[in-house]
């Protein structure tokens, strides 16, 4: 073999290994609600676009228990948290095959006050070799992944006297350094026994947010007299300082997660008793966007240590709001925000608004309420009734690339309402959840 041939072979092998390494660097775990950046975005590239006529290839599927949430992914394992009978159950699957590896469960008697789903609302939170489960009844469990057993648990609703809200506990915690930050929202003992329809009479007991030692479950600090909402917590770093943002029942709380020092509280909530805040704050630079769908709409704040200034807000007495997100969270891309706007399915619109001004760039009806995942300049959009769409993230116009209703070999629709969990993506695999089924799809080329 000549030196030239050897050199050519070496070059081809080196390039192949380099490309393979680059591809592996793009793969991300999805260890918490809305992903590693808490904003429903993926950094992976190579998206298949457009989709085949019958949709992305189905790699595997699994029937689920009762619940609204989709799972989390870490080190080749998919962690799904649902209810089966009178037990909340964590089911751990092989992410490539869907094969069940192990389970952990605990008893629950939670009943939704308005007759909705009685399963968990929160996604599992994975931190190293531990996974945290927060059930609708308010029990928080820390489970060892290698040992497959309980390390510690606390019933936060009982301990902090949380008056039941309309839909139970639905705010996913976040991990910051040695702390697990949890939205609790307890009240003084005098309010014990009251229910959702008396919640407007209730005051807090300083446990709006509770920071726990993530290894032991012991309280480190608690802050705020606010009551709980359904909006999950989110973390950010602004000008070199860590922040945590909590969109509680009455408004947005900005604080330092290191010690719990509160920077500000910004009131933002409809006066209607049954109204809820459920959409996660969106953080871009030093600005924070929040939205609700009952009356007040959206606002953008510019934050700084100790305070904030309002960049823009929807007019409270106007019906012409920039965006009204319900349980879904809008996603940001290149100066624009994309999200499902509207409280009810028939009136909901998928919208694009300008981040800096709230100007509506376009609005598309007919998709019902939907959830979004941003990946590779595209939006993967899941309608609550099951259709799955691929859209270009285009601020100039609504640009649909593909649409599919996933079906099995017999023609049965796989994703049934309510499909309320946002799609997630890890290592080229797209995961979507309907009422009782999880489907894993091939989303990327060469994966």
Question: Taking 50 as the threshold, does the pLDDT of residue 105 lie above it?
Answer: yes
Gap between the terminal Cα atoms of the chain = 34
pLDDT single digits (tens) 69-84: 999 999 999 999 999 9
Annotated domain spans of the chain: 46-64+325-352+361-447, 71-228, 230-321
pLDDT single digits (tens) 229-284: 999 999 999 999 999 999 999 999 999 999 999 999 999 999 999 999 999 999 99
> CATH second-level architecture of 71-228?
Beta Barrel (2.40)
Residues 6 or more apart from 278 whose CB is under 8 A from it?
170, 229, 230, 231, 292, 325, 326, 327
Question: Taking 80 as the threshold, does the pLDDT of residue 6 lie above it?
Answer: no
> Is 8 exposed, middle or buried, given 0-12, 13-18 or 19+ CB atoms closer than 10 A?
exposed
Q: Do the domains at 46-64+325-352+361-447 and 71-228 have one common CATH topology? A: yes
What CATH code is assigned to 46-64+325-352+361-447? 2.40.128
Distance CA 281, CA 216 (A): 28
Question: Taking 70 as the threshold, does the pLDDT of residue 17 lie above it?
Answer: no
pLDDT single digits (tens) 385-413: 999 999 999 999 999 999 999 999 999 99
Task: Assign domain 230-321 to a CATH class.
Answer: mainly beta
Distance CA 22, CA 24 (A): 5
């Amino acid at each position: 073999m000549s030196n030239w041939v050897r050199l050519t072979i070496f070059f081809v092998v080196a390039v192949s290994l380099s490309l393979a390494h680059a591809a592996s660097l793009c793969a991300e775990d999805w260890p918490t609600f809305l992903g590693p950046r808490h904003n429903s975005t993926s950094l992976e590239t190579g998206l298949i676009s457009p989709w085949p006529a019958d949709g992305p290839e189905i790699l595997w599927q699994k029937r689920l228990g009762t619940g609204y949430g989709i799972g989390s992914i870490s080190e080749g394992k998919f962690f799904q948290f649902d209810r089966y009978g009178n037990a909340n159950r964590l089911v751990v699957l092989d992410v490539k095959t869907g094969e069940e590896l192990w389970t952990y469960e605990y008893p629950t008697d939670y009943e939704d006050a308005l007759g909705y789903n009685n399963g968990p609302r929160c996604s599992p939170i994975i931190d190293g070799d531990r996974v945290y489960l927060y059930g609708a009844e308010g029990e928080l469990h820390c489970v060892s992944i290698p040992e497959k057993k309980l390390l510690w648990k606390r019933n936060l609703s009982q301990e902090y006297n949380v008056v039941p809200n309309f839909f139970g506990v639905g705010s996913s915690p976040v991990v910051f350094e040695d702390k697990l930050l949890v939205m609790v929202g307890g009240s003084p003992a005098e309010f014990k026994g009251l229910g959702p329809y008396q919640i407007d009479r209730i005051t807090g007991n300083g446990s709006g947010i509770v920071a726990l030692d993530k290894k032991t479950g012991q309280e480190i600090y608690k802050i705020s007299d606010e009551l709980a909402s359904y909006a999950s917590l989110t973390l950010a770093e602004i000008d070199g300082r860590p922040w945590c943002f909590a969109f509680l029942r009455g408004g947005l709380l900005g604080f330092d997660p290191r010690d719990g020092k509160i920077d500000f509280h910004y009131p933002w909530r409809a006066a209607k008793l049954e109204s809820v805040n459920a959409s996660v704050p969106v953080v871009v630079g030093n600005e924070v966007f929040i939205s609700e769908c009952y009356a007040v709409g959206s606002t953008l704040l510019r934050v700084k240590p100790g305070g904030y200034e309002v960049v823009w807000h929807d007019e409270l007495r106007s019906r012409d709001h920039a965006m009204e997100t319900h349980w879904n969270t809008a996603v940001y891309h290149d100066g624009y925000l994309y999200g499902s706007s509207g409280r009810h399915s028939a009136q909901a619109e998928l919208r694009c608004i300008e981040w800096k001004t709230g100007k509506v760039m376009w609005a598309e009806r007919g998709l019902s309420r939907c959830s979004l995942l941003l990946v590779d300049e595209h939006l993967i959009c899941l309608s609550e009734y099951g259709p799955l769409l691929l859209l270009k993230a285009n601020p100039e116009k609504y640009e649909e690339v593909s649409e599919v209703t996933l079906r099995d070999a017999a023609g049965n629709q796989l994703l049934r309402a309510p499909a309320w969990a946002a799609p997630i993506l890890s290592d080229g695999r797209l995961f979507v959840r309907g009422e009782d089924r999880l489907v894993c799809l091939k989303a990327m080329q060469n994966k």
